[in-house]
């Protein structure tokens, strides 16, 4: 499975401590990819986005772009189509083309997946399943106290709101650029639940 986010992405965006081990966070990142990503995209579109792995940098007029190089400008990842492209990437410029899959992957999907994984972590982290049942471990030195159920519920609600916001941003992007019918994404919106599904 291709993971589009990692622990560092969560540390940058959420209240997760960098001291948490990768082993503690990885299951929640994997669950976000396995369970949340398919609610937004079909398998074909996920494969297209996973295949959009590119190296890009912010656009600069001092760089001589050659075909195949990528640049970020104006909220998009652009692919250079001609040699010595020093002009600003725009839709009117034939020397550039928006790479929608890379744009979704790097500029929009990371946020959705980070908040999905964080929400999942908040639901379970700090609770252990033992022979005694589901327990909340306590600190032997009593220097830490688990948050109350009310505080945890508030944090989960906040993470859910952010996840849903980023989901809506992605859905609006797909509709705005007619990616629900383009062969580059090979998808349609299925009536009823708003999920992007393959043809």
What Å distances lie between residue 182 and 67, 95, 99, 174, 186, CA to CA? 23, 21, 13, 10, 6
What's the CATH number for 55-98? 2.10.10
> For 119-172, what is each residue's pLDDT tens digit?
999 998 877 767 777 767 676 676 677 788 899 899 999 999 999 999 999 999
**Closest of 98, 8, 2, 21 to residue 59, by C-alpha:** 98
* Measured distance CA(27)–CA(111) in Å, rounded: 18
Say if CB 7 and CB 20 are below 8 A apart: yes
**DSSP secondary structure, 63-80, as one string:** S-B-TT-EEEETTEEEEE
CB under 8 Å, gap of 24 or more: what pairs does 54-61 form? Answer: 54/99, 54/102, 54/106, 56/102, 56/106, 59/88, 59/89, 61/86, 61/88
What's the pTM value of the predicted model, to 2 decimals? 0.79
Q: Where are the domains of the chain?
A: 1-52+100-126+147-199, 55-98
pLDDT (tens digit per residue) in 1-19 = 889 999 999 999 999 999 9
């Amino acid at each position: 499975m291709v993971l589009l986010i990692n622990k560092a992405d969560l540390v940058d965006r959420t209240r997760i401590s960098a001291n948490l081990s990768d082993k503690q966070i990885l299951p929640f990142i994997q669950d976000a990819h396995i369970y949340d990503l398919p609610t937004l995209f079909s398998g074909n579109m996920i494969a297209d986005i996973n295949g959009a792995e590119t190296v890009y940098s912010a656009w600069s007029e001092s760089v001589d772009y050659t075909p195949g190089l990528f640049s970020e400008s104006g909220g998009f990842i652009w692919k250079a189509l001609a040699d010595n492209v020093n002009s600003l990437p725009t839709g009117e410029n034939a020397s550039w083309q928006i790479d929608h899959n890379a744009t979704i992957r790097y500029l929009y999907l990371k946020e959705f997946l980070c908040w999905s994984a964080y929400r999942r972590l908040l639901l379970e982290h700090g609770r252990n399943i033992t022979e005694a049942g589901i327990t909340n471990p306590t600190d032997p030195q009593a220097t830490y106290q688990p948050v109350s159920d009310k505080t945890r519920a508030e944090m989960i609600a906040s993470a859910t709101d952010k996840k849903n916001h980023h989901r809506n941003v992605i859905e609006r992007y797909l509709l705005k650029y007619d990616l629900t019918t383009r062969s580059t994404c090979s998808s349609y919106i299925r009536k009823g639940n708003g999920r992007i599904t393959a043809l």
